[in-house]
Structures are given as C-alpha cells and as structure tokens.
Amino acid sequence: MKLTWLGHSGFRLETGDAVILIDPWMTGNPAFPQDQRDQAIQGATHILLTHGHGDHSGDALSLARELQIPVVGIFDLISFWESDHKIAGIGFNKGGTVDLAGVQVTMVNACHSSSLSGPDGPIYAGAEAGYMIAAEGHVIYLSGDTDIMADMDWMGDLHKPDIGILCAGGHFTMDMSRASYAAKRYFNFKTVIPCHYKTFDALEQDASVMVQALPDVQVIEPQIMKAIDL
C-alpha cells in the first residue's frame, strides 16, 4: 500500500487494483507542483471526497470527466453532480460501506461544514464526512476536515484503525495539539500522518507539536509527491 501526499488534504492511495485520489485539489493549490500532475493522477480508478469545499473538491469534476472514473462521497453532492454534470458517481451516506476495487470504504461522521461556491454565496453540498478505509490488513481513519468529536470514541473502538490521516492545521479544523489529543484519547494508532497544514500562512507549518505529543506513535510528516509505504 502506497500513500502519496498531493498537498493540503489531497492524497493518492494505491492498494491492490485501486488507485484512489482523495480530495484532489491541484489546480490553484500553492503546495502542489503543477508539473507533476500527470504522475499524480496516472492510473486513478476512483475519486473520494470528504466534503464540497473547493480546497477538497476543486478538481473532482474535471478529473472524473478526463479519466472517466467515478466520484465517491456523500449522496446529496454526488447525486447532484450525476444529474447536473453528467459524471459517474457512487453516492452513499454515513454508516454505509462501498467496495472500491476491493477496498472497503465506510463513511463516518465529521464535524465541519460542506458547501460549493455559487454566484450568490455558498450552495448546500450535503454533509461533511470522514472515512474508514480497510485494505491489506490495515484500517486507515481519514478524518476529513473536523474538530474533536465524541463520536471518535466509538469509531476507534468499532473500526480499530491503525493508521490515522488527520487534519491538523488549525483555524478551519483541529490543530496539531487537538489532533494529538484525539489520537491519544480515542484511538490506538501505530502511524499518524497530518494534513491540511502548511498550505496557507493561517495554518500550522510543521508537525513538531504532534511528534512531541505522540512519542509512542510513528508520526510521518508527508512530503509532496513522495510515496509512503504503509
């Protein structure tokens, strides 16, 4: 299993027959090297979205058309795009599980907001979500954009993820300290990978606080377009 950071909250997950682009925002992303776009999307089989905000969904529609692959996410947004933008989609909801080329993806709760930009202001885009991604003997908790939630208690107990991909930039989501608290209190991670940081000045710029707070966990500060073997 390989995980490659595309900057901000975007990832490329390669496992078995699946190549899943998670929250792909490359166009206009100051952290993403535009000359590596072809490498980032090569062989993609699915696009997985946590919510509608442009810094997560910005390239979803164009990639779905270009690559002829489905967008996977909350039913309300996916069904709207299927109808109005004529893309392939797999819409489901919290508690549901879908099979993406052998990868079991379960939608779980997140605490944030979700909208698309419209001419007269934000447009409803369904609810924000996180995911439990099961493959190759691992369970990855992809937090999406969220703060700490009491729901993390049962999520950790039921799904028992060993890998956490946690938003940790602060301002719009939990910061490194809060994400570390959630990791210690609710989960038993072996590996934690922070995201949604460094992109803008308002966000945290490094993961030193998390590294210090989680001495018994492998905290990996991802490098853009450098694959991590999980």
Residue 61 is predicted with a pLDDT of 97
Residue written as tokens 């901000």?
Answer: 8
Element (H, E) at 140: strand 138-142
Angle at 54 between CA 49 and CA 58, to 5 degrees: 70
Nearest to 89 by CA among 43, 134, 80, 97: 80
How many structural domains is the chain composed of? 1
CATH number at residue 141: 3.60.15.10
Do the beta carbons of residue 128 and residue 143 sit within 8 Å?
no
Residue 44 is predicted with a pLDDT of 98
Pairing of strands 97-100, 18-22: unpaired
Give me the tens of pLDDT residue by residue for the chain, a chain 230 residues long: 999 999 999 999 999 999 999 999 999 999 999 999 999 999 999 999 999 999 999 999 999 999 999 999 999 999 999 999 999 999 999 999 999 999 999 999 999 999 999 999 999 999 999 999 999 999 999 999 999 999 999 999 999 999 999 999 999 999 999 999 999 999 999 999 999 999 999 999 999 999 999 999 999 999 999 999 99
Phi first, then psi, for residue 82 (nearest 5°) are: -60, -40
Residue 137 is predicted with a pLDDT of 97
- Between CA 69 and CA 201 the distance in angstroms is 34
Do the beta carbons of residue 45 and residue 72 sit within 8 Å?
no
61 by Cβ neighbours in 10 Å (0-12 / 13-18 / 19+) ranks as: middle
The pTM score is: 0.98
- Between CA 111 and CA 13 the distance in angstroms is 24
Q: Could you count the other beta carbons within 10 Å of the beta carbon of residue 195? A: 28
Domain that holds residue 56: 2-229
